[in-house]
Structure 1
Amino acid sequence: MFVHLAKRIAMPNDTPVTKCGWNTVDGYVSAGCADGLVKVLKLEIPEVGDARTRGVAGQAQLTKNQTLEGHASAISSIAWNEQFGKLTTADSNGTVIVWVDGPQNEFVQDMLNNRTKNRISDMKWNSNGQMICIGHEDGNVIIGSVEGSRIAGKSLRDNKLAKVEV
């Protein structure tokens, strides 16, 4: 089976997209920009009609197009926590923001951590959504809980991290 999704979304001032993320459970797509903006989009495909035409181009509707502000530099990592419906974004200055879908069906800041100046190279939530692994470019690795507390940390000196896996 071949699937192709094409949707042109205008970013403010034609700012380049640096990272993308996809929440497969809720249907959200997120795009982080070089200027620190994050766009959250939701495409919904109606479950009506003939199975042969379901999902055909032109059938999907854009039901959310929200711009999230809070970062001051290029987005370096995006991670969705699909079990808790949280979006985690990080920028090149080391700021991490956790966003949640709020009561007005708008994403709002749930947590902000800007204590570090080390670039975050990658983040991943574990399969049950209880913990996140955050890898810094300088070799520091942090494990945090879904509630926002630090569980563990380790410095892998003389190693530059590019990716983390849980």
Structure 2
Amino acid sequence: MNLFTGTVMDNIRYGRLNATDEECIEAARLVNADGFIRMLPKGYQTVLEGDGSGLSQGQRQLISIARAAVADPPALILDEATSSIDTRTEEVVQAGMDNLMKGRTVFVIAHRLSTVRNSDVIMVLDHGNIIERGSHDDLIAQRGEYYQLYTGAVELE
């Protein structure tokens, strides 16, 4: 997630430079960022300094997800998208990511397993090899490595 000095609108629009203000706002609504953006001093015209350090980690994450939403790609790769936020904020970010993922292929790389729980297919890798594959419910029922990781029986390295 890379934010830059410029308005919130500019940071979202960076996903598709010819996006209209309305498209950027719709992308922010889709990923649950619109509410907090409207609470900023100048809303979408609030200027972010540097990497957006005046925002919380979750807010920065939501703006980045809105940028991806306005780009509207057919496929996405999300790498540890919720790893640096607290679990309460994760719920808001996860709901936004779930909305973004609808209708597209998404590869999610995550150690925080709640991030992948709603995925159609989860693949558990061990040293680059797929050792389990299935939905969350399938993998829980198998009581294998995913089950152990999900229930906290073993720790991720």
TM-score for the superposition, normalised by structure 1:
0.28
Which structure shows the higher strand fraction?
1
**Higher RCO, 1 or 2 (CA under 8 Å, sep at least 6)?**
2
TM-score for the superposition, normalised by structure 2:
0.29
Which structure shows the higher helix fraction?
2
